[in-house]
Structure 1
Amino acid sequence: MIAQEQSSGGEPSRKSGFDELERERIRAALFRYMEEHRIGVPTLIVHMAKAVKREAQYIPQKTVQRFLANDTRTNDASVRVFYEFALGLPPGKDELAELAAGLSRFFNEGSATVAPRQSAAMCDGAYQAYAGSPPAHEKDLFSRIAAGFLTVTTTAARTHMAERRLAPPLPPSARPGLPYDHKERGEAFEGVLVRFDSFEVGVMRSTATRKPRVHFFARHESVLWSECQCAPVTGAEGELLLSERLHFEYSGAGVP
């Protein structure tokens, strides 16, 4: 659901900027609208122009396509049009809550009411993900390859996961250790964390393409690991399954 800001006088305020999370929510709302109405981008622009009272010719098709694909950072003026359109859409159903409940019933002996529990391997908060194994020596910390960010939040209905996977890593010599507030472009995923016995599974999808991504989490000798699979990605020989091992460092209760 897209939240609307209010001015001090109680009237809706005009947003002038949009962070990455807000852009992902707007993008998801546009995708949902297109799916529900079985339309493409040209028809979406017609509907959008009518709703925001703007000529369709002033909503460029390439701009909408690039925003949906998340190829480049769309300027705030264009995103404001998409935001105003998304504000008028009815809230979608909580698909993640339904997914969490369904997976809990499936894995936990068919129980109809399995409340989400704080994860044994993971706790709520923000994590930074690194590719491969942790460095054996403290002097090697700055040569690590940052793979992305992960945020875990438990509510009454589900344990929500939000992940941003960074662009494919470069050699350590070309890309030394990255600070936690690194803003490099990447792909965003959302999903839920479910528990079965002593292991946890993160079931996620791309917020832009709905491409699946699955984490198998475990903790060994105080290190939080994930064997992760993501499909499909385009390779030299067509569609390939991406498998990677990640380890995570807890950064606290805040969101990166």
Structure 2
Amino acid sequence: MVDVITLQGICKSFNIGSSVETEVLHGIDFTMRSGEFVALMGPSGSGKSTLLNIIGLLDRPTAGHLLINGVETTALPDAELTRLRGRTIGFVFQYHYLISTFTALENVMMPMLVDRGRPSAEMEHRADALLEQVGLSKWRNNRATNMSGGQQQRVAVARALSMNPALVLADEPTGNLDTTSAEGVFNLMRQINRQSNTSFLLVTHNLDLAERCDRIVEIVDGRIAGERQSAS
């Protein structure tokens, strides 16, 4: 089975060649197996966001190798990176970033529209199935502004799954939610992970949620400081 993420000696520097050049990531080695649900933790400024941007193919490392689903990405041209990202990686952020004037159904369809250029009955069927999976079939025609925070984040999870990605990157997805909504969104992601074998990399400061993941990886000062199996 191919690992969904393989990082080998990943470094990232900013302001390269200037007097204030700063290396933020220092030789990161990390592997994540297909179907794993992993928590990434660390203090503010530790390099979590930079690492997530690199894994999500939103930024390139300064050095090292990154394989996503077995594909070496570090030398790919931008157009191929964009295609690989769109078809292999889903994103859930702390803020849902839904298009407020679109319905829940239209928001879930967006990644498919971007990839294929025009709507189809197949896309609508896929979006409806995902809304049912996240418990929002009744709200398919509601605009994002007419939904609660927890419902909006569930739509964001459905949208992240629309292209059937191998990997979902979730950056503090429960950070803006109340305790009940946060619990519901986390349980939803865990359920999807177990049912469909979709891999999740969850950035969180919530130790309670992290302990319910398969594995906890800690990053400190741009280095992997340790990892352990969770207590779940």
* Length-normalised TM-score, structure 2: 0.27
Structure number with the higher strand fraction is 1
Larger radius of gyration, structure 1 or 2?
1
